[in-house]
Amino acid sequence: MTPRFDAIGLVVSDMAASVTFYRRLGFAFPQGSESEPHAEAELPGGLRLLLDTEETVRSFHAGWQPPTGGSRAGLALRCADPGEVDTVYEELVAAGYHGELKPWDAFWGQRYATVQDPDGNGVDLFAPLAAGPTE
């Protein structure tokens, strides 16, 4: 028996705020998800992003508490090109989301930035930097 990776789950404090944030990034949550205790968006390749409210998690794990001292999970979203990293970052910050790392050209060859979702989880935006001229 070999378990198969199927989903990424996040616990959220405010379902409506989280669904709104992830929809801005292209995640297709069904209409009405904002008011549900559990929501799912299908990802390319058959994976899913799962959101559960804190109350939902406590309904089956009474002692659960949110982590303190920073998030322990993050998502990384590949953008089409370096310019899209900048554009998406600026749009999210202008919409009121916290920009953790402004876009920069990382030494590992990517345009890279981080925005926090409504619960403080880092969402990395990245794209390979254009190759320089060949000699």
Per-residue pLDDT reduced to its tens digit, 28-76: 999 999 999 999 999 988 999 999 999 999 999 999 988 887 777 889 9
pLDDT at 73: 82
Given a cut of 90, whether residue 132 has pLDDT beyond it is: no
pLDDT of res. 69: 79
Q: What is the pLDDT of residues 11-30, one digit of tens each?
A: 999 999 999 999 999 999 99
pLDDT band at 1 (very low <50, low <70, confident <90, very high): confident
Distance CA 48, CA 41 (A): 6
For residue 53, the 8-state DSSP code is E
Phi-psi region of 96 (alpha: psi -120 to 50; beta: other; left: phi over 0): left
Cβ neighbours of 78 (radius 10 Å): 12
Q: Which amino acid would we find at residue 109?
A: G
